[in-house]
Amino acid sequence: MSEISFERLHQFFCKVPTVQEARIMAHGADGEHAWWFKFSIDVEHPLAWQTVQELGHVLNYLSTNERLPTLFFPVSPPPYMNGEAKDFLSWIIQCNHPEFNPDVVCDWLEARLPNPVDDESQWKIKTDLSELEKLDDKTLDQLIPPAP
C-alpha cells in the first residue's frame, strides 16, 4: 500500500479554532491501511465542547444505520501522575478501513462541520428553542422547510 498522507487533515485541523497547529501532536499508520491522528483541544476555549460534539457526531455517530469506519475518542495518561485535562487530555481519530484514508475523513469533516471552519461565529449554535417561537412563518419555513 502507498504511504498514507496526513497533510490535508493536518491543514484542516490547523484551522479549527479550538485545535490549531500548536495542538496537533502526532499521526501514524501501521504500514497497511490502519491510521490514527492525535491532537488536543483547548478545553478553556468557549467552543471546546462544541468541537467535541461536532467531531463525535460526524466521526462516531453520523447515522444510526450506516456509521463511518472511524473512531473519535479521548486518551490520557493517568491524571494522578500528570495533571489537569487542559494539559494532558488528547483526542484520537482512528480508522482501520482500506478505502477511508485521512483525505476521505477530511472530505466528511469539511462537508459537515461549520463552514468556514476557522470562523468561530459559524461554530456557535442556537440551543434556545424559545427563539423559534418569535419567528414568523416565512422565516421559520426558510430555516426548516416544510415536509413535501
Task: Indicate the fold that domain 7-143 takes in CATH.
Answer: Gyrase A; domain 2 (3.30.1360)
pLDDT of res. 127: 67
pLDDT of res. 131: 74
Could you identify the residue written with the cell 494532558? Answer: 88
- Every domain of the chain and the residues it spans: 7-143
pTM: predicted TM-score of the whole model, two decimal places: 0.82
Give pLDDT tens digits for 45-91: 999 999 999 999 999 988 888 889 999 999 998 878 888 888 899 99
Give pLDDT tens digits for 116-145: 999 998 888 766 677 777 778 888 777 777
pLDDT of res. 1: 47
